[in-house]
Amino acid sequence: MKATALAPANIAFIKYWGKRDEVLRLPLNGSVSMNLSNAFSTTTVDFSPEYQQDQIELLGADFTAKEKLRVIQHLDRIRAIITSSWRAKVVTQNNFPKGTGIAASASGFAALTLAAAGALGVKLAEKELTILARRGSGSACRSIPDGFVEWVAGPLTGRSEDSYARSIFAADWWDLRDILLVVSDHEKKTATTAGMERVKTSPLLVARLRRVPARIVKIKQALAKRDLQLLGTISEEDCLEMHQVMQTQEPPLDYTSKATLKVLAAVKRWRQQGLAVYFTIDAGPNVHLICEGRDKQNVLQAVKKMKGIQSIIINKPAQGAHLIQEHLF
């Protein structure tokens, strides 16, 4: 009763920030993302009547008691589908640092969902898997489908089944790069779940929610036409707006650092010099540079001249979560 899944992290062009239902993890707005080929979680789950309790292990780092509980609650959701009482051993590994806003929760819960369902023999369609992954961590639903993905918010009064993720373009649709500049590998201070709970204290939230639907339409057009200027302009706008909402919450939440702001200024400068590159940032100080494959070397050359970059992770669009044969134990 063992299965292993690999799931990518994803970077959102239209961001998810705020829930209309905290328990079901139903979002206030839809979002659109790309799966990342080189930032992923691998998770092995083994269910057995011989385990007395769930054992949860993160290789290369430690889960807090709270994080372990969140994993166990997710296992409970999957056990409930077939009323199994078997406990599990879960071992997981990220190929990128934990807690830096590189969405380990997205890749982690997507991999956990697929591996646990696979190990228990629970057969679910992709849409159902995305709904289940969403219960573990909202952004995890976007790491299940292939390539470029839309998370459909569902109607405001909608049920859990109305909010799911679907692929809008396959990974090979557009040769984009996400050049992730790690400026800090320290864990962030406020976890996204806690930060998001305060979203309604921001006076800017209402304005943002009014604007997002039109942006989603434009981002999908940009993807359809492979129009980097449109994609980059809209996603920078949405990213900055999400951070303004965070920064005007009570208490204010600022995930950026001096190094982040330095990179943003540099990106604008590079663009003025003719380099087609755009930025986006999640709930952490690290900056994702979005460009086309043919401009990768030029962007890397510009980045090399900067100080304060600790590491660089180069991503292409990637397939979604999938089962693999090699187990972690």
DSSP state of 153: -
Nearest approach, Cβ of residue 137 and ligand PMV (Å): 4
Let me know: does 243 contact 41? Beta carbons within 8 Å: no
* Nearer Cβ to ligand PMV (138/317): 138
Nearest approach, Cβ of residue 50 and ligand PMV (Å): 33
The residues binding ligand PMV (CB under 6 A) are 12, 15-17, 31, 103, 105-106, 137-139, 192-193, 282-283
Nearest approach, Cβ of residue 141 and ligand PMV (Å): 9
Nearest approach, Cβ of residue 17 and ligand PMV (Å): 6
* Nearer Cβ to ligand PMV (120/141): 141
Residue 119 DSSP SS3: helix
DSSP state of 125: -
Nearest approach, Cβ of residue 142 and ligand PMV (Å): 7
Alpha-helical runs (H) found in 248-294: 258-272
Nearest approach, Cβ of residue 55 and ligand PMV (Å): 24
* Nearer Cβ to ligand PMV (31/41): 31
- Residue 292: CB partners within 8 Å, gap ≥ 6? 175, 176, 177, 228, 276
* Nearer Cβ to ligand PMV (121/252): 252
Per-residue tokens: 129? 């898997």
DSSP state of 317: B
169, 41, 233, 268: CA torsion to nearest 10: -140
Which single residue is written with the structure tokens 């934990």?
98
Q: CA neighbours within 13 Å on the CB side: how many for 2?
A: 11
Question: Of 7, 1, 30, 211, nearest to 117 (Cα)?
Answer: 1
* Nearer Cβ to ligand PMV (101/270): 101
* Nearer Cβ to ligand PMV (153/302): 153
Let me know: does 219 contact 151? Beta carbons within 8 Å: no
* Nearer Cβ to ligand PMV (115/242): 242
323/241 Cα distance (integer angstroms): 36
Angle (nearest 5°) at CA 46 between 43 and 47 = 140
Nearest approach, Cβ of residue 2 and ligand PMV (Å): 27
